[in-house]
Amino acid sequence: MILLILALLPYSVFGTDHVGNGNNADSETAHMATNGLPFPWSKVRLPNYIIPIHYHLLIHPNLTTLNFTGSVRIEIDVKNNTNWVVLHSKNLKITTATILDENEAYRSDKVLPVLEYPAHEQIAIFSPKILITGEKYFLHLEFAAPLADGFYGFYRSTYKTKHGETRVLASTHFEPTSARLAFPCFDEPGFKANYSIKIRRSPSHTALSNMPIEQTVTLEGGLLEDHFDVSVRMSTYLVAFIVCDFKSVTGRTSTGIDVSIFAVPDKWHQTHYALEAAVRLLEFYEKYFNIYYPLPKQDLIAIPDFQSGAMENWGLTTYRETSLLYDPETSSALDKLWVTMVIGHEMAHQWFGNLVTMEWWNDIWLNEGFARYMEFVSVDATYPELRVEDYLLDTCFAAIGRDSLNSSRPISSAAENPTQIKEMFDTVSYDKGACILHMLRHFLTDDVFQSGIVRYLRRFSYRNAKNEDLWDSIANTCSDDDFTSGEFCYSSSQAAKNAYRYAGEHLDLKVMMNTWTLQKGIPLVIVDRQGSVLRIRQERFLKTAQPSDPLWLSLQKGYLWHVPLTYMTSNSRNIGRHLLETPSDTIDLQGEVRWVKFNTDMNGYYIVHYEGDGWDALIELLKENHSTLSYKDRANLIHNAFQLVTAGRLPLNKALDLTGYLKSETHNVPLLQGLGYLETFYKMVEKRNIADVTENLKTYILQYFKAVIDKQTWSDTGSVSDRKLRSEVLSMACDLSYLLCVEKAKALFNSWVKSNGKISLPTDVTETIYSIGAQENEGWAFLLEKYNVSLSETEKHKILVALASSKDSEKLSRLLDLGMEGEMIRTQDLSSLIYSVARNPVGHFLAWNFVKKNWNELVEKFQLGSFCIRNIIIGTTAQFSAKEELEEIKAFFDSIRDQSSQLRATQVAVENVEKNILWLERNLEPLRMWLQTHLH
């Protein structure tokens, strides 16, 4: 009877005032549910008149049948009279649905019909009695599903014990839109609620969730049911639960928070460093944010199958094993740095993201840009010996690489459906977000920045915030005394002008920061020095277009930034400041200067071009006395020069001349910056089989950097900086077949094989040693065998990179097939394997053809929009630099237009190849000529 009534229902009972608001479907745009009836809601976003207050969730996974069952009772607040409840559910079989009143009595039939609309991953439950505004109701649902394959929702993972036995566990990953795969819910970040979670398990397993266990009940048949404490208010994507048989190590912070690290039992000995780092970082954040961590515990767990690096579920952060486990036997200095930074990132999220959450995914950078930036702030404060600030430059260089393409996007961008939302987790949100925050911190001073973000976190605790809420909080410079009873302070005198002075000028912080978050791209600041006057102008920096191009004006139109400029001159070590808010401006200096260097220490997010003899003066300065400038300034100059070459704004020989001073460079950051560009050019000409330039460039690098290469020891001694340099320089030298390097690596590899892998190799150069060993058939086979039995994920990663460096295409094909099977090589490592094969000159077509052939399966494994799919698309195509290859890429993207049209990554890939083609057209001949004149 109810089904018949359902078909005849007028839509007006959906929500009494929603028809007129345009928030509802009308009969012309009606969406059909799976049973052929009209679905009562047409939008991707849920209606906002039913608000979840509290979820009572019971989950029972069966690790033998690999299914799970569950029930959820959601307390809801009804804002408008309605007969319908619409919420999210995906791939769940709903077995029972009913609505209860505040006394938990049934409102009508015990079982109500459930309409499903899979296109929007929504279900609708119809209540024959109208739900009245202001009354309290419970929505009760029972459901079942298989544990998911892959990496989203409530999914299964496996590991092998050292005795070869396979064990199963079940874990969750909900960000951004996958909580709906595990239980029916209002799966949007704005619908925060409390959670009471119960999990059923066998006595041989442990259950974990966001909160500690309050009690454990024994059920019939010997099953146990863990009841977890009620959670704080949080978004669905932060809910987590895991059933496993892991071992843990536990410590406690000075404020009494229990911190535990969980791993598979055989890897328990690799958990101790993470415990020390997590305790230290959690204590740092409590002080820095001046807000206590609000939960009684923080668990960190290494999941054997995990697509991303880690996930910040509140109180139960999940990690890929390489991001949490540190094995002193096999982990290098860089592996230690990585683990520390990932933990720093996830701990920052406990405040940025968890305590205060973005209102919608368009502002995901408020979570990710902050957490990426706080990695640097926190690790610098807690582990200064790791020299983490050296890597901030690399982060900003990566952001600029993406942002100087027209296919970039604004930091704050529209995103509606799950694919668009997944694509928001990219270089722009993370790296550019971190770099503009770094610029802002230097611009405002550390203290003002810190007090501003503390105000933001206090004001929006347990709530949601937008981009502008952050600028309001930072611009509102009330003192702590102005806080009253937890209210946010806006004194009337303050409200009149929330502005700072910078270089003697007033500025409106919100207006300024909107130029960095609401428009895409990066400014190019052009400096023309005329006597004691600097003429400066700004334009949008683009690597694939030049002022002579017909499209140039349209690509520049409307772009203007408020750029906080900093500079030094030959006359003064004091940092000059100037706010550039207009297309052009002038700066008057005290007297004439020989040189000027903008963007001091690269604290700003912009590229600088020096017109006239500006670059010549800087080249001369570096030759005479490079230590006049800081190592960051030197790295920044090298980066800017080669970026300008790519954009066709500076001749290649000028940038190469600039690197001439590197013979006397002692700091690894500028040294590796210069080497990195030379190596990139080498790989490009090598892949194009341009024999003379390839040979000459190789000879030049080995001749020119011989002293640096020969100075490296095959050991693990020295600072993190020394060790990073050793790792990169020896890898390059062996890659370029430098005889001393190859022979040393071979000798170390052979003695390692002779000991059957028992002796310890120096961890910083292990990958290089393996890569040389992998060039021989026996060495390759031995490495594959070791890969299969190793209990260290960092060691396995190094072996896999080495196996993918083989010059035998059959071996490379075999590796890709093993990655696709997902048994020996886990599916989580497939995207980085494809990328490693693509970087190999023998493998770049192989990898691309593999991606084309297996495209549908890859999308099924990783989901459209995921960062793995992005890495596969951009990583395999970045190796191409010929017009025919560009046409082939475009043709393939065209053949999958349904999917590729949804992806920004395909536009990035096309533009990268266009950039490579342009580079070779402009610079191949100049490179050839320059090498001929500079080779001894």
Phi, psi (deg, nearest 5) at residue 570: -65, -20
Q: How far apart are the first and last CA of the chain?
A: 93
- The answer to the question of whether 88 is labelled as a binding residue is no
Q: Give, as one character, the DSSP assignment of residue 268.
A: G
**Tokens found for residue 821:** 């099977």
Sheet containing 563-569: which strands, arranged edge to edge?
572-580, 563-569, 596-598
Residue 194: alpha-carbon gap to chain centroid: 28
Non-local (6+) Cβ contacts of 384 within 8 A are none
- What are the angstrom distances between the C-alpha of 40 and each of 130, 131, 180, 654? 15, 16, 19, 65
Non-local (6+) Cβ contacts of 912 within 8 A are 405, 874, 877, 878
Cα 11 to Cα 382: distance, rounded to the nearest angstrom: 59
Q: What is the largest CA-CA distance in the chain?
A: 93
Q: Is 346 a catalytic residue?
A: yes
Mark 330-351 as b/e (b = at least 16 C-beta within 10 Å).
Answer: bbbbbbbbbbbbbbbbbbbbbb
Q: Are 152 and 178 in contact (CB under 8 A)?
A: yes
Q: Are 798 and 773 in contact (CB under 8 A)?
A: no
User: Please, which residues bridge with residue 357 across strands?
Assistant: 464
- The answer to the question of whether 345 is labelled as a binding residue is yes
- Scan for tokens 């190592």, then name that residue: 631
Q: Are 456 and 474 in contact (CB under 8 A)?
A: yes
Angle at 191 between CA 185 and CA 197, to 5 degrees: 50
Candidate list 346, 375, 767, 911, residue with the active-site label:
346
Cα 196 to Cα 140: distance, rounded to the nearest angstrom: 14
SS3 882: coil
SS3 235: coil
| Antiparallel, parallel or unpaired: β 166-173 and 93-101 | unpaired
The identity of residue 38, as a single letter, is P
**Tokens found for residue 394:** 């690399």
- The answer to the question of whether 368 is labelled as a binding residue is yes
- Render 30-93 in DSSP notation, one character per residue: PEEPTTSSEES---SSPPSSEEEEEEEEEEEEETTTTEEEEEEEEEEEESS-EEEEEEE-SS-E
**Tokens found for residue 258:** 């229990």
Cα 604 to Cα 113: distance, rounded to the nearest angstrom: 58
- Render 465-509 in DSSP notation, one character per residue: E-HHHHHHHHH----GGG-BTTBPP--HHHHHT-EEEETTEEEEH
User: Please, which residues bridge with residue 193 across strands?
Assistant: 234
Cα 867 to Cα 163: distance, rounded to the nearest angstrom: 34
Binding-site positions read 345, 349, 368
Annotated catalytic residues are 346
Binding-site positions for Zn(2+) read 345, 349, 368
